[in-house]
Structure 1
Amino acid sequence: MLADSDLRNNPYAEQRRKGFRWLRFDAPLEDAYLAYLLQRHQLPRRIGGMILTGVLLCFLGMDIHFAMSHYLPLISPTLIGLRLLCIVFVQVCAWNGEHQTRAASAQIWIINGLAFLSVFTLLSTLLYLPVLGSLGTPVALDTNFLLLIAIFFPIGYSYWNSVKLAAITCLSSWTLIPLYLPSADLPAFLHLLVYQVAAFLGLVGMRYSHDHATRAQFLTRGILNHLAGTDALTGLLNRRAFEMRAEQSLQLAQREQKPVALLLIDVDHFKAYNDLYGHPAGDRALHQIGQLLQQQLQRGSDLAARLGGEEFAILLHDCSAQHAQQVARRIIHEAEHRLAIPHAHSNTASHVTLSLGYGLAEPGETLAELYQRTDFALYRAKSSGRNRVDAATPGSQIPFPFSE
């Protein structure tokens, strides 16, 4: 079982604690879930699309066969035309849905495709009513049953959208079909209606269970991924996760021509602190420092990490040199005056202090190059007395063998 201390700053764990009885996450997590849902159901969506196309082609073949056997000038061409339009619209919506980069846009295309399918199915059912009456066949709702299955089929859109679309479709057919039925056929329609209501409720329940299980799996996956990329002691990113996300953030910032600042922070005389107060006290001190660094993040794209031991890092997106310097000085000041962790064996002060180097990424600079320049600034801060800030200069290189 995962301890609560292992789940700090974990939105997936927080959502699991809050629950999701109404199959809805908090806004940022809901967007991530919809994107995950579309990706997870990519193969079922394609298979479902092929099955749906095959079924529509079968219905088209039946329409053509009926037209050849019992041609009705006002009905047969209209039925065939509706079926062709339905196939075209569904294919267009499916193609556009598969080529969207945003989950919300893809959802809209999926819903549009199913809505078109519902409208065309209802129109074709209404057109067939006089034909069935002339043949002495009771009203048929088999296409409506198939339509409900298509709407509730898990193809990557939200549960509530499927429920709303299915409810509108059923209410429309239950309202319009009796208006075009002879009174003698109403008992047969009501008899079939009972089965359709049962099918609707059954599919609502089945899809709810499926979506609930999928959301629970999504949260579990998110918790495990978060833990894999999180430092258990401080709750910050670990080195591996930080470097991966910082690389992506740096590339994005260079494409958007926005500045990125890297801050490297080191705890002064930390070995002496551990030797004097013990490792549990050292862990508590690192946790407090980690919380202090986490509080400096103002944007969702900002990152804070424990790189290992007593070394930390912050990446600030769209950050000017002046703002980076302000954040760096605030960290040093708050560690000294707000945390004020006693350190009797420090050669710098009577409490735990920090040294910090910061630098702004230059055009075309890699993360490794930015890290190297900023690490040299941190080295200068430590070698010139500690408990201070030093800025990386453009193009500076470390004048001694460097190893991460």
Structure 2
Amino acid sequence: MQSAPEALSAIPENRYAEQLRCGFRFLRFSEPLEQEYHQYISKAQARYQKIAVLLGLGIWMIFTLVDVMRLDLGQRFPDYPAPLWSLLLVRGSIILILSLLALRLLDGSREHYGPKVVTATLLSLVLGTTLTIIFYENLNVPISNSVLLLMAITLFFPLGLSYRSNLLLAAVSLPLVVLPGLWLLAQAQQVDYLRLCFIFSLALLICAMGAYVRDHTQREQFLLLRLLDWQANHDPLTALHNRRSFTQHLDLALRQGNRESATVALLMLDIDHFKRFNDHYGHQAGDEALRQVGRVLQHFARRPMDMAVRLGGEEFALLLYGCDAEQLRTLGEALRSGLATLNIAHAASPTADHLTVSMGARLAMDGESSEELYRRADALLYQAKQAGRNHLTLG
């Protein structure tokens, strides 16, 4: 059974396998893979944002209901001392913030919130929780200060922030907990409060360690999922797209071409007398020849909608978007010349002393299906072979 490094070394070069080989100890991918990861994680964690907002709103409303009962607000209204009015103001402000967030998330106007909104909301909760504890102390009403430990966990909850953002959020939250207590509490109360702040900082440290492990695992899973998807859509020998990926992309390109009035071209090519090449030089040399042809072909698929494909065996295809007839002819001849410059010896070929290819190329007609385009391009490839091979036939 292969080890993980051996399995990765057998995969053709791609950015997901390369990142797994290099590792990501500091929880950072190379660009633009880092951007792709954040797009993925934002979508994946949109559901957690909804749950967190609703859960936070529910918990905060329960705390508010407890305030009403514990502090006998109905009987004492409106003769409240200043700390109690301050407490109610904080409770109401946090409920308003969470309610607005919940409404925006649940009405379908957005799938998730960006890092700035998440950060501002969490900092508001930290400050609100801190002030609530302080106002309870000033009212001489006992309250469980362990709610700050729950706040430490919340700061590292998976809400779409990067690990670095979580660390920065934790660093900013610590003075938001410490400073209001030093400012609003009496000196006799500050000793116990500072002890609580110390416990809060330890909780942040423990949560940060757990968040690191979670983020590392999420990144590894992301790379493995992307790698599996890459393998499902690429040829393992040449790293070009495979027939499955090509079939899906051809339909997409034709639909988009119809919408944008853009031309779509399909060029199919076949290595001449490749069975004789394998018989004469061996299959390892044949595999290397296929890889070299694949690299040249990939050089011509530069734009986002272009695609270089290994259809199977010695048969390849090149899908070109926004390519007219003259460009197709020029590109086809340039491709044939580029393959010839590889100068791969083929002593067993009756066509030439080096490896050659036959090609058939066609522009898609209006309303032409992917099956029709493929069939007609394949027929042109057959004509090129019948014409003596090492030839390009345009339709």
Same fold (TM over 0.5): yes
Find the counterpart in structure 2 of residue 224 from structure 1: 228
SS in structure 1 at match of 2:354: coil
Pairing 1:340–2:336 present:
no
| Residues 343 and 351, structure 1, Cα contact 8 Å, conserved in 2 | yes
Change (3 A) 1:156 1:255: farther
Residue by residue over 1:239-273, the C-alpha shift from the partner in whole angstroms, topping out at 9 and shown as x without a partner, is 11222233334434444444332221111122232
Change (3 A) 1:80 1:207: closer
Pairing 1:23–2:27 present:
yes
Larger deviation, residues 315-324 vs 181-190: 315-324
How far the C-alpha of 1:208 sits from its partner, in A, is: 0.4
Find the counterpart in structure 2 of residue 367 from structure 1: 370
Residue by residue over 1:268-299, the C-alpha shift from the partner in whole angstroms, topping out at 9 and shown as x without a partner, is 12223233333333222212111211222223
Find the counterpart in structure 2 of residue 398 from structure 1: none
Find the counterpart in structure 1 of residue 58 from structure 2: 54
Cα distance in 2 for residues equivalent to 1:373 and 1:232: 28
| Residues 90 and 114, structure 1, Cα contact 8 Å, conserved in 2 | no
- Among 262, 267, 270, the residue aligned to 1:266: 270
Residue by residue over 1:37-63, the C-alpha shift from the partner in whole angstroms, topping out at 9 and shown as x without a partner, is 244445544443442232122123234
Change (3 A) 1:345 1:297: same
SS in structure 1 at match of 2:362: strand
| Residues 261 and 361, structure 1, Cα contact 8 Å, conserved in 2 | yes
How far the C-alpha of 1:223 sits from its partner, in A, is: 2.4
- Among 65, 72, 95, the residue aligned to 1:84: 95
Residue by residue over 1:313-356, the C-alpha shift from the partner in whole angstroms, topping out at 9 and shown as x without a partner, is 122334444433332211100111x1112223323222111111
Quote the RMSD (CA, aligned, Å): 2.8
How far the C-alpha of 1:190 sits from its partner, in A, is: 0.9
Cα distance in 2 for residues equivalent to 1:70 and 1:143: 26
Find the counterpart in structure 2 of residue 395 from structure 1: none
Change (3 A) 1:245 1:98: farther
| Residues 307 and 319, structure 2, Cα contact 8 Å, conserved in 1 | yes
**Amino acid of the residue matched to residue 166 of structure 1?**
A
Change (3 A) 1:368 1:69: farther
SS in structure 2 at match of 1:339: coil
- Among 146, 164, 169, the residue aligned to 2:168: 164
SS in structure 2 at match of 1:178: helix
Find the counterpart in structure 2 of residue 240 from structure 1: 244
**Amino acid of the residue matched to residue 372 of structure 2?**
E
Pairing 1:199–2:203 present:
yes
What is the correspondence of 1:177-196 to structure 2 with a 5 Å cutoff?
Answer: 177-196=181-200
**Amino acid of the residue matched to residue 360 of structure 1?**
L
| Residues 87 and 131, structure 2, Cα contact 8 Å, conserved in 1 | no
Find the counterpart in structure 1 of residue 353 from structure 2: 350
Pairing 1:68–2:74 present:
yes
Cα distance in 1 for residues equivalent to 2:170 and 2:103: 21
Residue by residue over 1:188-221, the C-alpha shift from the partner in whole angstroms, topping out at 9 and shown as x without a partner, is 1111011000011111110000110111122222
How far the C-alpha of 1:185 sits from its partner, in A, is: 1.4
Cα distance in 2 for residues equivalent to 1:159 and 1:334: 47
Change (3 A) 1:382 1:166: same
Change (3 A) 1:77 1:130: closer
**Amino acid of the residue matched to residue 91 of structure 1?**
A
| Residues 89 and 116, structure 1, Cα contact 8 Å, conserved in 2 | no
Change (3 A) 1:233 1:84: closer
Unaligned segments of structure 1, at least 5 residues: 101-105, 393-404
**Amino acid of the residue matched to residue 68 of structure 1?**
G
Find the counterpart in structure 2 of residue 103 from structure 1: none
Aligned residues: 384
Residue by residue over 1:4-41, the C-alpha shift from the partner in whole angstroms, topping out at 9 and shown as x without a partner, is 55322321111112221121112232233223324444
Pairing 1:215–2:226 present:
no
Q: TM-score, structure 1 length as denominator?
A: 0.84
SS in structure 2 at match of 1:20: coil
Find the counterpart in structure 2 of residue 399 from structure 1: none
Unaligned segments of structure 2, at least 5 residues: none
Change (3 A) 1:248 1:228: same
Cα distance in 2 for residues equivalent to 1:334 and 1:29: 31
Cα distance in 1 for residues equivalent to 2:28 and 2:109: 24
Cα distance in 2 for residues equivalent to 1:355 and 1:306: 15
Larger deviation, residues 244-253 vs 338-347: 244-253
Larger deviation, residues 227-236 vs 251-260: 251-260
How far the C-alpha of 1:137 sits from its partner, in A, is: 4.6
Cα distance in 2 for residues equivalent to 1:332 and 1:235: 20
Residue by residue over 1:111-170, the C-alpha shift from the partner in whole angstroms, topping out at 9 and shown as x without a partner, is 5145224225414643663442131658x7544333332221224442222222232222
Pairing 1:34–2:45 present:
no
**Amino acid of the residue matched to residue 327 of structure 2?**
H
SS in structure 2 at match of 1:263: strand
**Amino acid of the residue matched to residue 345 of structure 2?**
P
Larger deviation, residues 163-172 vs 11-20: 163-172
**Amino acid of the residue matched to residue 87 of structure 1?**
L
**Amino acid of the residue matched to residue 360 of structure 2?**
G
What is the correspondence of 1:118-129 to structure 2 with a 5 Å cutoff?
Answer: 118-123=123-128, 125-126=130-131, 129=134
